[in-house]
Amino acid sequence: MKATVSDEMKKVLIRQHYGLAGDHSAVKLCTWLKKSLHDEGVCYKQKFYGIRSHLCLQNTPVLNWCSHNCPFCWRVGDFDLPDKDLEWEKPSEIIDKMIDAQRKLLTGFKGDGKTNLEKWESAQNPKHAAISLTGEPTLYPYISELVKEFHNRGITTFIVTNGTYPEVLENMNPLPTQLYVTLVAPDEDTYWKATRSRLKDGWQRLLRTVTEVFPKLKTRKVIRLTLVKGLNMHSPEKYADIISKSGTHFVEVKAYMAVGNSTQRLPYDSMPTHDEIRNFSEELAKHLGWKIIDEQEASRVVLLAKEDYDWRKNVNEAPF
């Protein structure tokens, strides 16, 4: 049986401005790509890591499958795990379709009168793949091959994973240019409330990823905290204890943003202010013995690194 989403779900996704790329993959233009085309600002990932917003291909190879059902997720949901023995499209097919879908989504910007046409032309050939749009990317059985195919085309990659498949990360070859793991909770009780996980051992899997697998991976690494007031925005000392074992290069402390379908599950005041994120980051940095090295107020995000870590040098070693 083919891996595919229902026709009804496809209609929903198209209404939400996804560009479908085959049976189970998609792209979507993020707000910051659009802003960059209009010279109105760039994503914090460009500010922090040099990932140029207008050249970014935000994508997923697993449109509607995830091991978590986090209430703060802006995606459509309701996620589930894929059936075994599904037939999946191969990476070369997927990437061609993703780039075509991205170009179609970009079409209307050429004549809107506000677009930087030089950027628009460059955006037709993306240079960076953010495998992070929706779903859990490590559920795609050819994730290593997908990364390799992107790299063969001169496109850098990052993957955002929820960390529940440590064995996939452990065996990835090649690794993405940059790897994010979302540390969604400081303890097991919070984990279940924050994820509504499909996996009985989800917390143990996440801990194994962060504390055992992550330290061994030879790529640029980020631990991300997506914080929701009243849910997982507590116990910075517990987060610090876990992070201290991770071997990560950076920690991003990011506010939950009240957008998309999450607004149907959470009250608006679940979204922390930037000042609250900054204060939490200061506490976390204190427990880690790290420092705040950057922030972007518009995205309510703060970046931490070790005191002795030459982060600018390492960013340049893996250029985007």
**Residue 1 is assigned to a structural domain of this protein:** no
Domain count, the chain: 1
Q: What is the average pLDDT value for the chain, to the nearest integer?
A: 93
To 10 degrees, what angle do helices 143-152 and 91-106 make? 60
First to last CA, the chain: 37
Instruction: Compute the distance between CA of residue 116 and CA of residue 242 in angstroms, rounded to an integer.
Output: 44
Instruction: Compute the distance between CA of residue 267 and CA of residue 320 in angstroms, rounded to an integer.
Output: 37
**Residue 2 is assigned to a structural domain of this protein:** no
Instruction: Tell me the average pLDDT across 131-153.
Output: 97
To 10 degrees, what angle do helices 236-243 and 274-288 make? 50
Contacts of 131 (CB under 8 A, 6+ apart): 59, 60, 61, 137, 143, 146, 147, 157, 158, 159, 160, 176
- The pTM of this model reads 0.94
Q: Which residue has the higher pLDDT, 71 or 227?
A: 227
Domain at 234, CATH number: 3.20.20.70
**Residue 264 is assigned to a structural domain of this protein:** yes
> Cis (ω within 30 of 0) for the bond into 39?
no
> Max alpha carbon distance in the chain (Å)?
52
Residue 310 belongs to domain spanning: 7-317
In this prediction, residue 204 carries a pLDDT of 98
- Interval 232-289: pLDDT, tens: 999 999 999 999 999 999 999 999 997 878 788 889 999 999 999 999 999 999 999 9
Residue where the block lists tokens 């925005």: 233
**Residue 310 is assigned to a structural domain of this protein:** yes
Does residue 84 register a pLDDT over 50? Answer: yes
Lowest mean pLDDT among 96-105, 179-188, 205-214, 299-308: 299-308
Taken in order 231, 233, 235, 237, the sign of the CA dihedral is positive
| Integer Rg of the chain from CA | 19
Instruction: Compute the distance between CA of residue 240 and CA of residue 236 in angstroms, rounded to an integer.
Output: 6
In this prediction, residue 318 carries a pLDDT of 47
Q: Quick one: pLDDT band at residue 314, thresholds 50, 70, 90?
A: low
Q: In what order do the strands lie in the sheet with 220-227?
A: 19-20, 26-27, 56-60, 128-131, 156-161, 178-182, 220-227, 250-255, 301-306, 290-296
- Interval 190-204: pLDDT, tens: 999 999 999 999 999
Instruction: Tell me the average pLDDT across 286-298.
Output: 96
Does residue 319 register a pLDDT over 60? Answer: no
